[in-house]
Structure 1
């Protein structure tokens, strides 16, 4: 990994995936001017999909949610470069890849210091031809093998002792080859012990139930039991 730092900014990037990284590369306007915007997705903010030389990336600006986010939209208390959200997520994704978990490759992370606060951006690999579970289950059911793969992937993440603080069905993708991916590791971290793992699973189940009620997704409790059983078997090996 390489770094490009100044007094008020810190960038970490993978030179195998992007030639150079400066603050301008984290601006959607820069990619738009270079005709390299290939799509976008709405969430808490807008994720911009961009065409890099070797692969496609997803550019995300860190923004707060909830009531507090309406007051302070995208500034965070600065406690050191290593504690910024973008650099922490960049590092965690690399660790998970080393542990064999299917997550997007981190491409570049930026943090810009503003006196006592900072703003942050991250570019990760775009998982091509992939949909989240919500989008898929609104249209069709998934077979048991997919639910088994989901359980196994979560087990790998937990065996790496990583707590996904927002594990929901928007953050689980299935690609064209039926490979399962876990995304969005903002505010996630390594954690000791095992007590928190059941909480992760219960959060995921609540997400299925919520979307079943809200969007009438094609999902049943039997699907959950298949996922959970695969998780337990994988966790025991």
Structure 2
């Protein structure tokens, strides 16, 4: 990994030169890729995600957007507190740190921010992981069983053992691929000293997500026996390995 920085009067681009020797502003513009016939899908919502076909391969382009009540006031703007504190630069660097730790995450390609006055807007490009579906999709399709639950527990434990805190650990951010399981969307994530408190809070967030998606429709006792207890057993074994 070789971090390169390009700056101009309105912002900066941070990119991994081992993935692409040159990244410029149009890379972060979905319309640019659409005009070249290189944009396959685009979704709205909080993330503003597009699948783009770049010289570095198939990638995911994500535009940072606020959620909740603040979104109505700020939209995609964030308070400027310095380049190194932008959402995009912090997530880019966290992805690189996790890759060095051999954790299963998307490969960071490039990040940018555009600064105007008190605010900035930001984008992130990552290599797309092929042939995936989310844990949420798997649950909806009836694929969440005891064995998959064990795999999810082991996955989360690997990140917690390394001191990685995921700010929004939920079933939509666990990807299942032929090559294994991955965690995605590390916006606001960070490295922390491993402690029981934040680790358990992280896991409870995942549990609430599964409940919200209907994993316990047969009752909490069945969910605990078939899903959560195997998940936690695998988590504890992996954490102490």
TM-score interval for Structure 1 and Structure 2 normalised by the shorter chain: over 0.9
Give runs of aligned pairs for residues 131-170 of structure 1, distance below 5 A: 131-170=133-172
- Runs of 4+ in structure 1 deviating by more than 4 angstroms, as ranges, are 213-216
Give distance in 1, aligned partners of 2:227 and 2:215.
16
Structure 2 stretches lacking a partner, 5+ long: none
Q: Does 1:75 align with 2:80?
A: no
Q: Give the match for residue 232 of structure 2.
A: 228
Q: Alpha-carbon deviations, 1:192-226, whole Å to 9, x = none?
A: 2412110000000010001007999xx93221111
Q: Is the 8 A contact 1:12 1:108 kept in 2?
A: yes
Pairwise CA distance, 1:160: 1.5
1:113-146, CA deviations, whole angstroms, 9 ceiling, x for partnerless residues?
1111111000011111000011122112334332
2:112 is aligned to 110
How far apart are the structure 1 equivalents of 2:150 and 2:101?
19
Q: CA distance change for structure 1 residues 214 and 123 in 2, over 3 Å: closer, same or farther?
A: farther
Give yes or no for contact 2:77–2:119 (8 Å, CA) kept in 1.
yes
**Whole-Å Cα distance in 1 between the matches of residues 56 and 167 of structure 2?**
31
Match in the other structure for 2:4: 2
For this pair of structures, how many residues does the alignment match?
234
Q: What per-residue deviation string (whole Å, max 9, x for no partner) do you get for residues 135-184 of structure 1?
A: 1221123343322221111111111211101000000010134x101000
Computed over aligned residues only, the root mean square deviation of the Cα atoms, in angstroms, reads 1.9
Q: Residue 12 of structure 1: SS of its match in structure 2?
A: strand
Contact 2:139 2:215 in 1 (8 A): no
Give the Cα separation in 1 of the matches to 2:156 and 2:194. Answer: 16
Shift of 1:22: 1.6
Q: Cα offset for 1:23?
A: 1.8
Structure 1: runs of 5 or more not aligned: none
